[in-house]
Amino acid sequence: MHSLSSNKSSVMKFKQVVAVFCAVPVLALAAPSEPDPNIALRNLNWHVGPKTEQVVGKATLKTPDENTLFIDESNSSRFLRITGNLPQPGNNIVFSQEDGWWAAFSFDPVGYVKDDEKIEADELLKTLKESDGPSNEERKRLNLPPLYTEGWYVPPHYDQQTKSLEWGIKLQSEGKTTLNYTIRLLGRSGVMSATLVSSPETLDKDVKSFKKVLQSFQFNAGERYSEFKEGDHVAEYGLAALIVGGAAAVATKKGFWAVIAGFFAAGWKLIVGAVVAAIAGITSLFKKAKS
């Protein structure tokens, strides 16, 4: 049982949360469609840990304790809609009751991404900043606030042992700086995206907490990076493109701005979306889940 101050802290973090999704499918700001978000959140089919869960049919993740909750794809789509995001198929949501963060997992079947590419952080940042202009033109057309790249919070780096690519970036929108923290986990047939949703004030702490949960993540047999065989589909791009937009980055190099303008505007780097105010009652959701 958590103290009142601990619960209040988690609630405040949820009020300040920023939804960030940098891979296809992306999230866009949407008005919550549930008449009572508190009731809708309570009615989701939450799995209470510890339990081994299937992640979008490609991997498993073991939730470590009763403070870590998980929902299937159908319920995850509802969660995204309730919290003011466009519901997207193929997502699983993990929620940390103790620390107040949540994360979305999605899989992009782009094929085997070769990891022999050198990452030039300065060049990648330049590319990200250059995309702000055309992106914001389209965001303006869609009545979305402009979004500007400030710099790296955590420069992109790749871990050969875990086959994971991660980075954190600082972005500015409407006078406020927010942080986006992303992890890409390479598999045999594609890339698993794990996007952490947290408040800037607690991101460092939440990243550590999230990585502890990720320690139990593993691709299913036949889906592991080490199981690549000659003849498997190989992705058309490498590590750098995963950071600057994946397939969209390839299209950009070919000059297809008109085709992908909507993709950039939708928020491939970041969508700023405050969770509905009524989510302040989410602590009661956890009490119900634990019971």
Helix (H), strand (E), coil (C) string for the chain:
CCCHHHHHHHHHHHHCCCCCCCCCCCCCECCCCCCCHHHHHHCCCCEECCEEEEECCCEEEEECCCCEEEECHHHHHHHHHHCCECCCCCEEEEEECCCCCEEEEEEECCCECCCCCCCCHHHHHHHHHHCHHHHHHHHHHCCCCCCEEEEEEEEEEEECCCCEEEEEEEEEECCEEEEEEEEEEEECCCEEEEEEECCHHHHHHHHHHHHHHHCCCEECCCCEHHHCCCCCCECCCCHHHHHCCCHHHHHHHCCCHHHHHHHHHHHCCCCCCCCCHHHHHHHHHHHHHHC
Look at residue 13 in the predicted model and tell me its pLDDT: 36
Distance, CA of 6 to chain centre? 25
Look at residue 48 in the predicted model and tell me its pLDDT: 92
Look at residue 81 in the predicted model and tell me its pLDDT: 76
Look at residue 274 in the predicted model and tell me its pLDDT: 35
Look at residue 145 in the predicted model and tell me its pLDDT: 72
**pTM for the full model?**
0.73
**How far, CA to CA in Å, does 207 sit from each of 6, 150, 178, 201?**
18, 20, 15, 12
Query: Digits of tens for pLDDT over the chain (291 positions)?
Result: 433 344 444 333 333 332 222 222 233 333 444 467 777 887 899 999 999 999 999 999 999 999 899 999 999 988 877 776 556 678 899 999 888 888 889 898 989 999 998 899 998 898 888 878 877 776 677 676 787 889 998 999 999 999 999 998 887 877 877 777 889 999 999 999 898 877 778 888 989 999 999 999 999 999 999 999 999 999 988 998 888 765 444 444 444 333 333 333 333 443 333 333 333 344 445 555 454
Q: What is the CA radius of gyration of the chain?
A: 18
Name residue, tokens 């990648």.
124
